[in-house]
């Protein structure tokens, strides 16, 4: 189990979303308790948390006590020492997770609470101490010849669960440093996250964007999270004004944001060189045994197959009736119909209905437990000072949790329902893997994580489209016109989702790769150079129908995921894989459901690409990307015919 990566796994959700801050946002007390998650399932009180915190502090010296007992003169019985050490870490690591997420879940629903912020800093500091005391572990373990380690495992069944993690460490032996060097790397975690931390504070709290004029005497406060709502507004002047006000805010902080990105990329280069990798891409992927070719294949194959996206933009320009299709025209619906809204239970029922047949009765039973608000797994509605967006997270031995930010007064959109399906997919992946795998193999790689969530979305979308096609085919007269608009709305939404989750994320991955290569080569990373790079890639991906303001070039500065290091590509690969898996599951292909549930149960018991191959998709080849592009192309062609 790679403890040096634990902190990054725990804080991953911190960079998914922005804070919800708005004058008309409900207070936490306005939301009924039944729609709030229950961190007390982890700790009944802060006193219980403090007790575990003190307990963990008091046990840290025991970790160091094993130093020298695996290899060297003190290693009188290495196998026995390994077994005892594993039992110790199996006890302590779940406590680290519990301490962290308990604070995180309380803090994320009230980011104004400085007490929770302080507790979060305390557990992060404790983790750094924990990690630094383990700096000796990998170097010493590697002093045991691999053949000898296999003999220990063969003679001691207690070590069998660790066979893969030991073999993975041997496979990466060239990148494990000396004990002293590992100690320095561990201590640097407090520093290497600075750019990310400052970016979050700056964009979530300190940056203010002012307001724009709405309709009549209305004043609209401009916020980063508010763009998601206003970008779909039918009033084009408001969309344009909102876009410019928001992007001008980022442009005004461009020098600072470029300095943060420079620091972030320098951190990537530092880690790459410290661990003796050829480049930052290799350094980021190798820890999870993802071949560089998977990333390179995604970028190259997508760039060679941009025609469906270009045609989609041409259709949008035509249907919207604009002379110039601009950045603020991306998201507004092409359909002329009122948006339907749903209560939470109605939205959940739609998911149960969609997933029951493809994924089976047991899966459906489990998600009904997960999505029943009374069970405390979900935090449903937005409130003032709550972290925005949506995520799923967990700690070992406790059920997963899901955070959402739906509008309590208006209810759920169809897109919101799809988001529920997405996050509950993550939750089930976690729930199944933790029940099926021993502690060393319970966690799955990011490469695999997004498949479990996006497959749910893909099934939900495909079935909604099929239902809409039948309604349109069977409708007559005025009802047919309404059914046609509904089908257009769903097609537009499905293609837009492919654009944002596949094409856009691949565009991000392209920019990130090129920007990091600039850092590796010592080239200047300024607001001008980073923006010029982004603008060239943006225009390439979106084609001649789309026109851009110079402001669009600063878009890179809004993306928190770049501070995770080669993360965004996994959204695109997962989307392609999920569509392929969903197709087989809905077609009831023999063995598909069993293979997929096995995938959810597998944690990290195999390397990520192998696990996905077992499920039915080989991402090491261009085939899934090409098949996905063809799938999008078919949707675009269907939309084109309907909108003529």
- Name 407's bridge partners: 411
CA distance 296 to 502: 15
pLDDT at 144 over 60: yes
CA distance 380 to 35: 6
- Name 219's bridge partners: 213
CA distance 166 to 148: 12
Residue 558 · residue 492 · CB < 8 Å: no
C-beta pairs of 89-93 under 8 Å, 24+ apart in sequence: 89/1, 89/3, 89/63, 90/439, 92/56, 92/59, 92/63, 92/130, 93/1, 93/3, 93/6, 93/396, 93/439
Q: What is the mean pLDDT of residues 56-64?
A: 95
The pLDDT-based confidence of 16 (bands split at 50, 70, 90) is very low
Question: 236 CB contacts (<8 Å, ≥6 apart)?
Answer: 322, 328, 329, 332
Residue for token pair 């995921």: 561
CA distance 337 to 596: 37
pLDDT at 66 over 50: yes
Among candidate residues 239, 205, 203, 192, the one with its CA nearest the CA of residue 557:
203
The pLDDT-based confidence of 20 (bands split at 50, 70, 90) is very low
Looking at the chain, the number of H-run helices and the number of E-run strands are 27, 7
Q: What is the pLDDT of residue 224?
A: 85
Determine the longest span between alpha carbons in the chain, in angstroms.
88
CA distance 614 to 601: 12
Q: What class, spelled out in words, does domain 37-192 have in CATH?
A: mainly alpha
pLDDT at 11 over 80: no
Q: Which two tokens stand for residue 405?
A: 């930010």
Q: What is the mean pLDDT of residues 563-569?
A: 91
The pLDDT-based confidence of 93 (bands split at 50, 70, 90) is very high
Secondary structure of residue 135 in the 3-state scheme:
coil
Residue 43 · residue 106 · CB < 8 Å: no
The better pLDDT of the pair 625, 200 is held by 625
In this structure, is the dihedral angle defined by the CA atoms of residues 128, 129, 131 and 136, taken in order, positive or negative? positive
Among candidate residues 193, 326, 258, the one with its CA nearest the CA of residue 557:
258
> Tens digit of pLDDT for each residue in 385-430?
898 889 999 999 999 999 999 999 989 988 899 999 999 999 999 9
Residue 341 · residue 410 · CB < 8 Å: yes
CA distance 360 to 374: 24
Q: Which two tokens stand for residue 370?
A: 């997960």
Q: What is the mean pLDDT of residues 266-287?
A: 95
219-221 and 391-393 strand pairing: unpaired
Residue for token pair 């090129």: 514
Residue 329 · residue 320 · CB < 8 Å: yes
> Tens digit of pLDDT for each residue in 22-41?
446 789 999 999 999 999 99
* Domain locations in the chain as residue ranges: 37-192
- Name which of 56-70, 73-87, 176-190, 437-451 the model is least confident about: 176-190
Rounded to 10°, the helix 527-542/307-320 angle is 80
Q: Which of 72-76, 214-218, 248-252 has the highest mean pLDDT?
A: 248-252
């Amino acid at each position: 189990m790679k403890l040096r990566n634990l902190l990054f796994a725990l804080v991953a959700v911190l960079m998914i979303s922005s804070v919800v801050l708005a004058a008309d946002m409900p207070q936490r007390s306005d939301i009924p308790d039944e729609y709030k998650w229950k961190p007390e399932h982890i700790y009944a009180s802060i006193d219980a948390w403090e007790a575990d915190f003190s307990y963990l502090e008091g046990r840290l010296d025991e970790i160091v006590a094993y130093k020298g007992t695996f290899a060297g003169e003190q290693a009188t019985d290495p196998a026995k020492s390994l077994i005892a050490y594993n039992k110790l870490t199996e006890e302590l690591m779940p406590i680290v997770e519990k301490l962290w997420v308990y604070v995180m879940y309380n803090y994320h629903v009230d980011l104004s609470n400085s007490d929770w912020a302080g507790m979060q800093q305390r557990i992060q500091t404790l983790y750094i101490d924990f990690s630094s005391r383990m700096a000796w572990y990998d170097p010493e373990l590697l002093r045991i010849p691999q053949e000898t380690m296999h003999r220990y495992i063969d003679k001691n069944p207690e070590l069998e669960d660790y066979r893969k993690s030991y073999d993975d460490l041997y496979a990466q032996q060239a990148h494990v440093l000396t004990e002293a060097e590992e100690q320095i790397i561990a201590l640097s975690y407090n520093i290497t996250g600075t750019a990310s931390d400052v970016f979050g504070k700056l964009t979530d709290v300190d940056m203010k964007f002012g307001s724009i004029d709405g309709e009549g005497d209305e004043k609209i406060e401009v916020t980063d999270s508010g763009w998601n709502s206003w970008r779909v507004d039918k009033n084009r002047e408001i969309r344009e004004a909102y876009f410019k006000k928001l992007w001008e805010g980022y442009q005004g902080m461009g020098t600072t944001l470029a300095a943060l990105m420079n620091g972030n990329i320098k951190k990537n280069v530092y880690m790459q060189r410290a661990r003796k990798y050829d480049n930052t891409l290799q350094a980021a992927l190798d820890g999870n045994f993802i071949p560089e070719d998977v990333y390179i294949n995604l970028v190259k194959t997508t760039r060679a197959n941009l025609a469906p996206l270009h045609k989609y933009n041409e259709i949008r320009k035509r249907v919207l009736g604009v002379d110039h299709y601009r950045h603020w025209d991306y998201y507004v619906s092409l359909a002329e119909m009122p948006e339907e809204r749903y209560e939470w239970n109605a939205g959940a029922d739609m998911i149960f209905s969609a997933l029951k047949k493809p994924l089976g009765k047991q899966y459906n039973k489990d998600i009904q437990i997960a999505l029943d608000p009374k069970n405390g797994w979900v935090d449903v509605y937005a409130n003032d000072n709550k972290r925005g967006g949506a995520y799923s997270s967990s700690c070992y031995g406790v059920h997963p949790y899901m955070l959402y930010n739906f509008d309590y007064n208006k209810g759920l959109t169809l897109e919101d329902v799809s988001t529920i399906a997405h996050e509950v997919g993550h939750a089930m992946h976690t729930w199944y893997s933790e029940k099926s795998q021993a502690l060393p193999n319970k966690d799955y790689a990011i490469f695999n994580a997004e498949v479990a969530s996006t497959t749910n979305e893909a099934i939900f979308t495909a079935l909604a489209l099929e239902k809409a096609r039948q309604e349109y085919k069977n409708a007559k007269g005025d009802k047919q016109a309404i059914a046609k608009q509904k089908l257009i709305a769903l097609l537009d939404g499905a293609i837009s989702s492919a654009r944002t989750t596949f094409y856009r994320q691949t565009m991000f991955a392209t920019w990130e790769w090129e920007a990091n290569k600039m850092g590796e080569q010592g080239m200047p990373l300024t607001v001008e150079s980073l923006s010029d790079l982004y603008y060239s890639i943006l225009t390439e991906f979106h084609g001649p129908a789309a026109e851009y303001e110079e402001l669009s070039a600063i878009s890179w500065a809004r993306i928190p995921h770049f501070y995770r290091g080669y993360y965004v590509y996994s959204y695109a690969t997962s989307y392609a894989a999920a569509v392929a898996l969903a197709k087989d599951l809905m077609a009831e292909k023999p063995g598909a459901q069993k293979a997929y549930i096995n995938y959810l149960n597998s944690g990290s018991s195999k390397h990520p690409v192998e696990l996905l191959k077992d499920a039915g998709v080989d991402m090491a080849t261009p085939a899934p990307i090409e098949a996905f592009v063809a799938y999008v192309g078919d949707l675009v062609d269907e939309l084109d015919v309907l909108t003529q």
